[in-house]
Structure 1
C-alpha cells in the first residue's frame, strides 16, 4: 500500500482526551502510522475559532492559527473529520472552523465565470458519533446534517470520494462495542481511508 498524507481533525468542541471522538481520532492515527502513512492532527477543542460575521471577513485572510491548519489541509491527500452529532448536525464550533478554513480563495474560487473547487485530488472520511441509532439517523433523518458537511463543504471544494462512518447509541455502548468501534477505525487508518 502506498503511503498517504493524512490530516485528522478531532472535531469535538471539548478537548478532553476521555471523549470518544478523541479515542477514535487516536485509533485512526495509530493505524495510519503503523502502516507508514504520514499524519498531522488538529484538536478543535484546543482552538480559538472566531465566528465569521460578514462577507468582508470571509473574503479576508484568516488568523495565523487557521492559516496553519489550511497549510496542513493543503499538504494532506486525505482528510479525516471525527465529530459528534449535535442537534442533527456538526457542532457549531466545528462548522465555524470549516467556514474559517474554506474562506474564499482557499476552498473554492469565485469569479465572473462561476465557482471552481480548489481542493481537488483529496479524499475525506467523516467519522460521526451520535446518541441515536445510526440506522435511524440515516433512514429517518436522511443524515441531512452530515450531508451538509459532505456535500455543502467538502465536495463543493473538490474533495472526493467523501465516505462516512456512523457510530450510534454511544450513550449505551458497552466496553466490547466501544472496542469494536476503535478496532474498525484503526483498520480504516491502516488503509488510509
Structure 2
C-alpha cells in the first residue's frame, strides 16, 4: 500500500474541467487498489503570491500551504495534474510550489543547501493536458515546462523519479477518447505509478 497525494493543479473550480476528472479517476483507481489517498485542489486554496525574497525566506507560511506541506510530508507518491497554459503550468500552481518548497522545509538554508533536498524517498507522476498534440509538445517544444518542473523543482527538493503522462488534443475531446484516458489514469492510480 502506498500513500498517494494528488495535487489537482487546475485553478478553475468548474467541475467540468478535464483535470478534475483525471484527478477523480486516479483517486478512484488508487483507493480501489487499497492505496491511501489525499487530495489537494489548487482552486480551493487561499494563499498569496510571493513578491519579495524576504517573503520566501521567512517562516510565515500561510495556513493553507502548511496543510499542503503536511500532505507532501505524509505522501510517498505525488501526482501533479495541470493544464498547459502558454507553454507552462498555470502561474497559480507555480506560486503554490514557491510557497510550499521554502528553505527549511524542502531544502536547507544557506549556500550549502544545493543538493540538500529534504523530500527524498518520494516519487511523482505529472499529468499534463494540452490543446495541441502531445507529439508537438514533445518534439517541437521539447517538453520544456515539464522538464523544468521535473529538474528545477521536484528533483531539486529530492523528489524522483518523476514519470509523465501527456494528454494532447483535449479541446473538444470525444467521449471514446475521454473514457480511454480516464481508464488509463485510473490504471496508473491502481498501481500508484
Distance in 2 of aligned mates of 1:92 and 1:56: 20
- TM-score of the pair, normalised by structure 2: 0.96
In structure 2, the partner of 1:69 is 68
> Post-superposition shift, 1:170?
0.2
Give the number of aligned pairs.
191
In structure 1, the partner of 2:4 is 6
In structure 1, the partner of 2:94 is 95
Q: Which sits farther off after the overlay, 102-111 or 65-74?
A: 102-111
In structure 1, the partner of 2:183 is 183
- TM-score of the pair, normalised by structure 1: 0.96
Matches within 5 A, 1:10-29: 10-29=8-27
Alignment RMSD, CA only? 0.9
In structure 2, the partner of 1:85 is 84
Unmatched 5+ stretches in structure 2: none
Question: Does structure 2 retain, via aligned residues, the 8 Å contact 1:49–1:93?
Answer: no
Give the structure with the higher percent strand. Answer: 1
> Post-superposition shift, 1:114?
4.0
> Post-superposition shift, 1:112?
4.1
Question: Does structure 1 retain, via aligned residues, the 8 Å contact 2:56–2:99?
Answer: yes
> Post-superposition shift, 1:18?
1.3
Give the secondary structure class of the aligned counterpart of 1:40: strand
> Post-superposition shift, 1:110?
3.2
Of 45, 49, 52, 2:50 maps to 52
